[in-house]
Amino acid sequence: MGLLSIIRKVKSKERECRLLILGLDNAGKTTILKSFNGEDINTISPTLGFNIKTLEHRGYTLNCWDVGGQQTIRSYWRNYFESTDGVIWVVDSADTVRLGDCRRELLELMGQEKLAGASLMIFANKQDLRGAMSKDKIREVLGLDGVEFENRHWGIFGCSAVTGEGLLDGMDWMTEDISGRIFMLS
């Protein structure tokens, strides 16, 4: 192995990031991940554990950890915080009833020390559904412009995992934001 290939190897390792995909149950976390990867999304059942998926995106290797969002599982989320570069928070934009829960869980998550440096990208999912709130409305309800988020790199994107709309914009923002912070040296 020549020096050049060693350097390349080190670099390719550096271009890897770990993304944690969280949100309430039924938000569409797994569907987003599968849809983004071009997989069949017709037979997705609630995640009772994790789905780990490696994606290749714009020269980056994204190790995505999608952990189930059911209330009984949420207490285990903290086991997945270590070394996380970015958090993707998925919101069911049509689930107006649980937006309060959604905000509470997000705030709790953002208060975690191990996630202090992680970029936050919010997917306002299910924009294809009638009755879905706009991403601006969700931004307001989640209080993203408040003091809790002032030291955080965050972005919010409307999307539909079913049509695929918006997914790419969100993932692009995420990889750019992380690479801007982490891969400056290379």
Partner 1 sequence: MITPGDVLEFRKPAENFLCPLSANCYGIDFLQFQINDYETKKIIFEVGKDIPPVNMEMDIDFGNMEDSFRKIKYTFSEDVLRLPLIGTSLVFKVGDKPLEDFRMIERHYFRNKLVKSYDFTFGFCIPGSTNTWDTVYSLPPLEDDLISEMVSSPYETTSDSFYFVGDTLVMHNKASYRYKLEDGAQDKRSYDTDYEAKNSRLTAKGTAQGDSKMVDSENKQADSKMGDSDDEGPWSKNADYD
123 binds partner 1 (CB under 8 A): no
> Which of 105, 165, 90, 95 lies closest to 133, judged by CA?
95
Q: Is 28 annotated as a binding residue?
A: yes
Inter-residue contact 90 to 47 (CB < 8 Å): no
Binding mask 68-107 for partner 1 (x = CB under 8 A): x----x--x--xx-x---------x-xx------------
DSSP 69-138: -SHHHHTTGGGG-TT--EEEEEEETT-GGGHHHHHHHHHHHHT-GGGTT-EEEEEEE-TTSTTPPPHHHH
Residue 123 makes CB contacts below 8 A (sequence gap 6+) with 28, 32, 88, 89, 90, 91, 156, 157, 159, 166, 167, 170
Task: Choose the binding region for partner 1 from 28-36, 111-119, 149-157, 176-184 (rule: CB under 8 A).
Answer: 28-36
**Does the footprint of partner 1 cover residue 31 (CB under 8 A)?**
yes
- Whether 71 is a known active-site residue: answer no
| Subset of residues 52 to 71 that bind partner 1, contact rule: CB under 8 A | 52-59, 68
Q: Which of 6, 52, 58, 70 is catalytic?
A: 70
Nearer to partner 1, 54 or 134 (CB): 54
The 3-state DSSP class for residue 163 equals: coil
Report the binding-site residues: 23-30, 47, 69, 125-128
Binding residues for partner 1 (CB under 8 A): 26, 28, 31, 35-44, 48-59, 68, 73, 76, 79-80, 82, 92, 94-95, 126, 128-132, 160, 162-165, 167-168, 172
Name the residues annotated as catalytic: 70
